[in-house]
A and B are shown apart, each in its own frame.
Chain A
Amino acid sequence: MRILEYFLPTKRSAATAKDRLQIVIARERAQVSAQDYLPSLQKDLIDVIRKYVTVEDGQVQLQVDHVDGCDVLEINVQLPPPRRSMARI
């Protein structure tokens, strides 16, 4: 019965809902937009790296992390074992 609510403390959970939504949505928007460009960035990077060293597709890894409120793009390139004929960089 509503009459009781005038004497009981009300819960204001909408503010919590809004805060949680704003955080999760900001993160998801960043991830979704990163997912859109990551595959083509990876392809372009592989092409550039191949001008200098021989790498397989799987040896160039990209990922976006969310660290301390910042988006960090991590690029991990696994180089082949050194060979003299390739050492031109």
Chain B
Amino acid sequence: MSRIIVVTSGKGGVGKTTTSAAIATGLALRGKRTAVVDFDIGLRNLDIIMGCERRVVYDFVNVIQGEARLRQALIKDKRLENLSILPASQTRDKTALTLEGVKKVLDELSADFDVIVCDSPAGIEHGAFAAMYWADEAIVVTNPEVSSVRDSDRIIGLLASKTKRAIDGDAPVREHLLLSRYDARRAKRGEMLSVADVLEILAIPLLGVIPESPAVLESSNSGTPVVLNGRSEAGEAYLEAVERLLGRDVPHRFLNGKPRGILSRLFGN
């Protein structure tokens, strides 16, 4: 059986799709056969972040409704041969994601992949439930900002009550906190919630801290997952998180930010 990991947050715009793309690509870089699935029916975006938007022929809903085979809908990444993308439908209604239909697709993916990354839509509606329902693990993407932390707390509550594992009384969904868009200097000055503050409130294990980085926008501009886009702080922080997902105990390098020279201290932003 493959590991099913949902990337979720409640709030929109915190970096779920960026994270799904980066983590899935990072896992593939580390040799895992990885599929990344877009659950945001009607607002497809994983394809454009992964840079394969022009290769979409069939989608997730086509497969669920028997209009295409899974093999026809899966897009093989051009950079990494053990990475595939299953795009969301752009035209259908999100109720097309039935729990049984999703299960069938996940089971079929399980035969060929070690890890399945499910990119959840924002909100706590049908699509978000469908994305989390079958998950073994959850990456809760949170920004150090009040509305994001509050919504993450709601999502953590739902992971503990509305997933298949919760309903069946199995071992709970393993939760990981990924704090993104973090500015260690602002946190140190008391202007931004710190890693410790967010951990104290949400009380789930820390998978990684992704520093605010211009590389994230540059990567999405070009359709290259940030872990492949040269050496950037955000890319390295995501690769660190991938190591932890693979069970390696690596030190957190991005908690305190990079040391800065005198000029950038005085004139930087």
**CB–CB B201/A25 < 8 A:** yes
**CB–CB A36/B146 < 8 A:** no
**CB–CB A17/B194 < 8 A:** no
**CB–CB B190/A13 < 8 A:** yes
Bound CA–CA A15/B154 (angstroms)? 21
**CB–CB B266/A32 < 8 A:** no
Q: Is the interface of B mostly helix, strand, loop or mixed?
A: helix
Residue from the list B189, B201, B268 in contact with A10, Cβ < 8 A: B189
**CB–CB B153/A14 < 8 A:** no
Q: Is the CB of A22 closer than 8 A to any CB of chain B? A: yes
Bound CA–CA A13/B154 (angstroms)? 23
Residue in A1, A15, A18, A32 with the greatest tally of chain B CB atoms within 10 Å = A18
Which residues of B sit under 8 angstroms from A36, Cβ to Cβ?
Answer: 161
Bound CA–CA A17/B187 (angstroms)? 12
Answer whether A21 and B194 are a contact pair too, CB < 8 Å, given A2-B268, A29-B157: no
Residue from the list B190, B197, B265 in contact with A12, Cβ < 8 A: B190
Which residues of B sit under 8 angstroms from A48, Cβ to Cβ?
Answer: none
**CB–CB B266/A17 < 8 A:** no
Question: Which partner residue on chain B sits nearest A20 by CB separation?
Answer: B146
**CB–CB A11/B191 < 8 A:** yes
Answer whether A17 and B193 are a contact pair too, CB < 8 Å, given A2-B268, A36-B161: yes
Question: Nearest chain B CB to A11's CB is how many angstroms away?
Answer: 6
Q: Is the CB of A28 closer than 8 A to any CB of chain B? A: yes
Q: Is the CB of B269 closer than 8 A to any CB of chain A? A: yes
**CB–CB A21/B190 < 8 A:** no
Answer whether A14 and B187 are a contact pair too, CB < 8 Å, given A2-B266, A2-B269: yes
Q: Is the CB of A3 closer than 8 A to any CB of chain B? A: yes
**CB–CB B266/A14 < 8 A:** no
**CB–CB B153/A25 < 8 A:** yes
**CB–CB A18/B197 < 8 A:** yes
Q: Is the CB of A24 closer than 8 A to any CB of chain B? A: yes
Which residues of B sit under 8 angstroms from A10, Cβ to Cβ?
Answer: 189-191
Which residues of A sit under 8 angstroms from B161, Cβ to Cβ?
Answer: 36
**CB–CB A2/B265 < 8 A:** yes
Q: Which residues B121-167 have CB closer than 8 A to chain A?
A: 145-146, 149-150, 153-154, 157, 161
Question: Which partner residue on chain A sits nearest B190 by CB separation?
Answer: A12
**CB–CB A24/B190 < 8 A:** no
**CB–CB B269/A18 < 8 A:** no
Bound CA–CA A55/B197 (angstroms)? 50
Question: Which partner residue on chain B sits nearest A32 by CB separation?
Answer: B157
Bound CA–CA A85/B247 (angstroms)? 70
Bound CA–CA A15/B192 (angstroms)? 8
Question: Nearest chain A CB to B10's CB is how many angstroms away?
Answer: 12
Binding site for B on A (CB under 8 A): 1-3, 10-15, 17-18, 20-22, 24-25, 28-29, 32, 36
**Cross-chain pairs A/B with CB under 8 angstroms, 13 sampled:** A1-B266, A2-B266, A3-B266, A3-B267, A11-B190, A12-B190, A13-B191, A14-B194, A17-B197, A22-B201, A25-B153, A32-B154, A36-B161
